[in-house]
Structure 1
Amino acid sequence: MSRIKSWLLRQPFFYALMGLKYYLGNNLVAHFPNERLRSWYLRRILKVSIGHDTHVSMRWFVTGYPVRSHVSIGNNCVINREVYLDGRTGVIIGNNVNVSFQTCILSLHHDHNSPDFKAIGDVVKIHDHAWIGARAVILPGVTIGEGAVVAAGAVVARDVAPYDVVGGVPAKKIGERNRDIQYLTKFSPFFDSDVFDETAA
């Protein structure tokens, strides 16, 4: 089996086929209004781990290496529209996490001081009950602590302690969050909207 794998990894057509599955997912399936189909594609084709009662909105963009995307999402999470999930090194999202629209979560980038523009990175970890605001950017290797809040538009380059509220560029602590968190996220809107039956939540 290792010989076959080694041979495949040397073949240009293999990378073309693997690239095609990401292209179809990000540019076709992600725009399809049926959430079951989108979820099936993420789980079965891109190998994204998704927990129970988790909603991934339309127009997501997932990256990864040829065989699989190293993205894991826990239970009762909301991944809102146009979120970028960089599964090349890895993204691990806990339970009951809210990731707002147009958030960019990077696990790999380049060393600007490297003569050959070397790629560097590490796994991003977002712990339970965290809330990531709209258009936030989380850089490789960052850990967002339990219950932490990242304000909209923040660029997070360092770890965020549990229940801290951070904001700005680069993100700095601007407050603390109440530790008495009782809600469970349940959000599954109709089509590409924020319209859903709140009485069913």
Structure 2
Amino acid sequence: MARYLSEFRLYVCNQWISRIPSHRIRLWYYRRVMKFTIGPKSYILMGCSFDCAGGLSMGRGSVINPNCRIDTRGSVTIGNNVSISNEVIILTADHDMNSPTMAGREKAVTLEDYVWIGTRAMILPGVTLREAAVAAAGSVVTKSTAPYSVVAGIPAQEIKKRSSEQAYTYDASYKRLFQ
């Protein structure tokens, strides 16, 4: 019975709650029912889907834009002032191709403070994007980055560095009406 309730909670989250054009209702459900930790002034916009309850922690001033898939099975930790653009996919679980039973495995993903992920980028299990790193639109990030690095491509490789001399102070929190 517990499994059915868990699956129903996830179905309601991904099919109904994520489509409600009210931040307050969505955040209430994500915090209270899905057991996500979401800091002040952080938002999850419409159309995002998740793979299980728990496993998501967001700092303050961060945003997950519309239509992202966040695989919370292996846990996702999002720092402060992180911007995740539309249709980003963050995976924390896969299968071991060398296992005779194709055993599943989970690896946490961490996005440190001031990270920016471009539209339709994909972050694979076990990756850490270090402070102020940028993953360009359409990138497939297969390994962890250095702080202030800009990565792009398939697989993503460092193409340049952001200035580490400047103090990044932007606030990624914004909530659009009906989003």
Q: TM-score, normalised by structure 1?
A: 0.86
Partner of 1:54: 42
Partner of 1:15: 3
1:187 aligned counterpart, secondary structure: coil
Equivalenced residue count is 177
CA contact (8 A) 2:73 2:106 kept: no
Spell out structure 1 runs of 4+ moving beyond 6 A.
Answer: none
1:117 aligned counterpart, secondary structure: coil
* 2:23 partner letter: E
* 2:97 partner letter: H
Match of 2:120 among 101, 111, 135: 135
- 1:165 is displaced (CA, Å) by 0.2
Higher RCO (CA < 8 A, seq sep 6+): 2
1:18 aligned counterpart, secondary structure: helix
CA contact (8 A) 2:96 2:103 kept: yes
Q: TM-score, normalised by structure 2?
A: 0.96
Q: Percent of aligned pairs with the same residue?
A: 38
CA contact (8 A) 1:63 1:69 kept: no
2:51 aligned counterpart, secondary structure: strand
1:32-111 pair list within 5 angstroms? 32-64=20-52, 68-111=53-96
Q: RMSD of aligned C-alpha atoms?
A: 0.9
- 1:185 is displaced (CA, Å) by 2.1
Q: Deviations over 1:89-127 (max 9, x none)?
A: 100000000000111111111112221111112110000
Say which one has the larger Rg: 1
* 1:54 partner letter: S
CA contact (8 A) 1:62 1:69 kept: no
Distance of 2:74 and 2:102 partners within structure 1: 17
Match of 2:172 among 185, 188, 197: 185
Distance of 1:47 and 1:16 partners within structure 2: 17
- 1:176 is displaced (CA, Å) by 0.8
Gaps of 5+ in 1: 1-12, 193-201
